[in-house]
Structure 1
Amino acid sequence: MSTSTEIAVLGAGMHPWGKWGRDFVEYGLVATRAALADAGLSRRDIQYVVGADTIRNGYPGFVAGATFAQALGWSGARVASCYAACASGAQAIDIARARILAGLCDVALMVGADAAPKGFFKPVGGDRPNDPDWLRFRLLGATNPMYFALYARRRMAVHGATLDDFAAVKVKNARHGLANPNARYRKEVTAEDVQASAVVADPLRLLDICATSDGGAAVVVSSLDFARAHGVPDPVRISAVSTVTPTFPKTVIDLPDFATDSTMTVPEPQRPFRSAIAHAAYEEAGVGPEDLSLAEVYDLSTALELDWYEDIGLCPEGDAEHLLRSGATALGGRLPVNPSGGLASFGEAVPAQAIAQVCELTWQLRGEAEGRQVKNPRVGIAVTQGLFGHGSAIIATR
């Protein structure tokens, strides 16, 4: 077994995003078979299967590891399932990574898939008055687009962001998604298209906010020794996985348990949530924002992508609009953001999303992202945020 703190990505596969009207297991199987083929392995080689869960797909969705292992064909592999909202896929990777680094297995499969409902994600599972997300939906009517809009208003008030800036994010990501065969939306979008679309939560328009989608993604990871023994001497490596929670100690500040995410200023040395996620990954990987070649960020809305620029250290606070306008975050720029097309081109298939980001980092670092390839990439980061303090940052290197 390897003593390295890194693991290898041997295979990556996806089922295209869309609204296909089929069972989520089918999407996961397509992605899994593609990842196994990419790795040059069979299902019998897999020692550990981790499924990323979602409540929306019923009991099979709650036990996704066993669901996918059964659908693939029982082979004696150990299984695990995990739910962490939008970070479910990242936590699945983290679980497998820990098992590999502990010497308990050599090769593992992570898979996530979703058959998402149309429109707003609504709370499921009955009344949950002890759940702050259920409360904000029921008592405030604060569905996700509402808090995306609050962030957008904050950027406008504090940093001078404009509707043109938000539209420019969508235009960029739509252009990136044109060449991605797995993207749901592969169509050029203009700023005029964005601003002419319906208002959902002022100031955000329909094209500022990501859709809900069906889709699946899978990756096969292994120890570095296993990769070398199977003829892959220089694999893409996962060098860090961060799933830190917000740090807002009530001994310092009395905060209500009523928000899924916060970036309010807290006493040093603590960091706002999204920044803390990325910083922990940088520390673990021994790199910094200056080392990045590309980033995949969770653009739930166009305005939130701008927040991510600052949170992951691409620019100082308040400079995101300038960075965007300079062209640095577009393909051909200094540091492309969402070369896959991001959620703007895919929509959310929640359990699959963080795994899909790792697929994109893998293809980019291998030089296989035809039509959207970043020039000579060496280090990439993928970041998510989700309900109830879940988030993740994954750093891949070559």
Structure 2
Amino acid sequence: MSAREVAVLGVGMHPWGKWGRPFVEYGVHAARAALADAGVAWTDVDLVVGGETVRNGYGGYVAGATFAQALGWNGARVATSYAACATGAQALDTARARILAGLSEVALVVGADTTPKGFLAPNAGERWDDPDWLRFRLLGMTNPAYFALYARRRMDLFGATSEDFAQVKVKNARHGLANPYARYRKEVSVADVLGSAVVSDPLHLLDICATSDGAAAVLVTSTEYAARHGLADAVRIAGISTVTPTFPNTVLDMPNLSTDSSLATREPERTFKASIGHAAYEEAGVSPADVDVAEVYDLSTALELDWIEDLALCGPGEAEKLLRAGETTLGGRIPVNPSGGLACFGEAVPAQALAQVCELTWQLRGQAEGRQVEGARVGITANQGLFGHGSSVVLTR
């Protein structure tokens, strides 16, 4: 293990669904599962990092302390992170940084959410300096409409079709059948997807992920702690990227609402999303060619195709070719979302980046029963928050 790595000793989840119970209940369930998986006592944990949930009151805003109290005061330090859909990875990065600095040895990272029905909207009240609020209230630009812009862009740039997008859902639904934590465990066909209601053209209802309740937890330690406990061969976090755009290349790789029509067809030298993956590869000392399995941010089916290219798992405009050839499914060259992805889970915002780390840990251990990527040694995740932040985590074995 290198001096910049930390060990993943335990992972745990609470099944995704619409349970309607307090988010803390889900988080405690996942945390205890991670501790049991690691064989580590709660009293050994010296840092708890919570993923903030903005829809669950004051306890959600101080999630680190909320989970520490619910698990039983043990004197651990606490921290709370928020980065929209990149929250879990940012929380994990906080834990990793303190371990690498020698300020912590055993850290528990927990994300959990209880969500309302429908798409995720900004909290109530008028906030004229909040671009998220403005795009919803003044422009009607809800998240499904935002996803549709990405999808239409793929069609215009690369000739993607609605059938391609539907095939992503078909693949992920098949993967999710074997995942006991997935909310949706049912096969669908291309006809099912195309026959579902149009939400925001060209995307149908089954192209877009749901909002869900759920939780995930990851127990990370110093490599020295892992070695002392006979776990020197544990899965390792080799790199985490939480980069922001770099001037002058600050176009968030989609048309957005700019009056510059050339942005719809121009490929920047390296887009912001591509920079997220590049930074993770660089830190981990691996290349896209080393990756055996990927868990990416499929808020919509079209976005999965974008991320395959952003992570340099293929060239621009080639993701559809991989999909059509079966290369992104189990048994293919680079399986993507063997967990079933958000297509099968839905969004539980503080938990989803951690859920990806859980899945890759099981994959690299060879424990992903029914959905195992054979011989997986290197995995990568990807998430994007809003307005210039995202995350990618590289795990190795």
Place the TM-score, normalised by the shorter chain, in its bin: over 0.9
Measure, in 2, the Cα distance between the counterparts of 1:257 and 1:192. Answer: 30
Q: Retained in 2: the 8 A contact 1:328–1:335?
A: yes
- Percentage of pairs with the same residue: 71
Match of 1:116 in 2: 115
Map of 1:272-351 to 2, 5 A cutoff? 272-351=271-350
Distance 2:395 2:279 in 1: 14
Q: Which range is displaced more, 150-159 or 70-79?
A: 150-159
Aligned twin of 2:374: 375
Residue 49 of structure 1 aligns to a residue in which SS?
strand
Structure 1 unpaired stretches of 5+:
none
Distance of 1:185 and 1:251 partners within structure 2: 37
Structure 1 position 275, deviation (Å): 0.2
- CA deviation digits over 1:30-70, x for unaligned, max 9? 00000000010111110000000021011100000000000
Per the alignment, residue 209 of structure 2 pairs with: 210
Q: CA contact under 8 A between 1:264 and 1:272: conserved in structure 2?
A: no
**CA 46–264 in structure 1, closer or farther in 2 if over 3 Å, else same:** farther
CA distance in 2, matches of 1:258, 1:20: 37
Partner in structure 2 of residue 48 of structure 1: 47
Question: Equivalences for 1:163-178 in 2 at 5 Å?
Answer: 163-178=162-177
- Inter-partner Cα distance in structure 2 for 1:11 and 1:185: 25
SS for the counterpart of 1:25 is: helix
Q: Distance in 1 between matches of 2:144 and 2:317?
A: 22
Contact map agreement 1:247 1:272 (CA 8 A) in 2: no
Task: Specify whether residues 252 and 282 from structure 1 end up closer, same or farther in structure 2 by C-alpha distance, changes over 3 A only.
Answer: closer
Q: State the number of aligned residues.
A: 392
Distance 1:175 1:30 in 2: 27
Distance in 2 of aligned mates of 1:252 and 1:235 = 39
Q: How does 1:211-250 map to 2 (within 5 A)?
A: 211-249=210-248
- Please state how far the C-alpha of 1:147 moved relative to its aligned partner: 1.1
Which residue number in structure 1 is paired with residue 139 of structure 2?
140
| Ranges in structure 2 where 5+ consecutive residues have no aligned partner | none
Q: Deviations over 1:140-168 (max 9, x none)?
A: 10001001101111111111101110010
Alignment CA distance shift 1:40-1:287 (3 Å): same
Distance 2:246 2:199 in 1: 31
Q: Is the 8 A contact 1:51 1:82 kept in 2?
A: yes
Counterparts of 1:116 and 1:56 in 2: how far apart (Å)? 7
User: 2:192, 2:250 → 1: CA distance?
Assistant: 48
- Does 1:77 pair with 2:76? yes
Superposed CA deviations along residues 76-113 of structure 1, whole A, max 9, x for unmatched, are: 00000011100110011000000000011111000000
Q: Is the 8 A contact 1:25 1:68 kept in 2?
A: yes
1:158-216 per-position Cα deviation (integer Å, ceiling 9, x unaligned) = 11101110010000000000000000000011111100100000010000000000000
The corresponding residue for 2:365 is 366
TM-score (norm 2): 0.95
| Rounded Cα–Cα distance in structure 2 between residues aligned with 1:272 and 1:252 | 7
- Contact 1:52-1:82 within 8 A present in 2 as well: yes
Q: Given that residues 133 and 258 in structure 1 are in contact (C-alpha distance below 8 angstroms), is that contact kept between their aligned partners in structure 2? A: no
Corresponding residue SS for 1:44: helix
Deviation at 1:250, TM superposition (A): 9.0
Q: CA deviation at 1:233?
A: 1.9
In the TM superposition, residue 273 of structure 1 has moved relative to its aligned partner by 1.3
Aligned in 2, Cα 1:267/1:176: closer, same or farther, shift over 3 Å? closer
Q: Which residue of 1 aligns with 2:392?
A: 393
Secondary structure of 1:395's partner? Answer: strand
Task: Please tell me whether the aligned partners of residues 251 and 272 of structure 2 are also in contact (alpha carbons under 8 angstroms).
Answer: no
CA contact (8 A) 2:157 2:265 kept: no
Output the CA distance in 2 between the equivalents of 1:51 and 1:174: 30
**CA RMSD, Structure 1 to Structure 2 (Å):** 2.1
Name the CA distance, whole Å, in 2 between partners of 1:365 and 1:3. Answer: 18
Runs of 4+ aligned structure 1 residues displaced above 4 Å come to 250-253, 255-259, 262-268
Structure 2 counterpart of 1:147, one-letter code: Y
Is the partner of 1:375 in helix, strand or coil? coil
Q: What is the deviation of 1:390?
A: 2.2
Matches within 5 A, 1:90-129: 90-129=89-128
Is 2:107–2:221's contact at 8 Å kept on the other side of the alignment? yes
**What is the one-letter code of the residue matched to 2:395?**
A
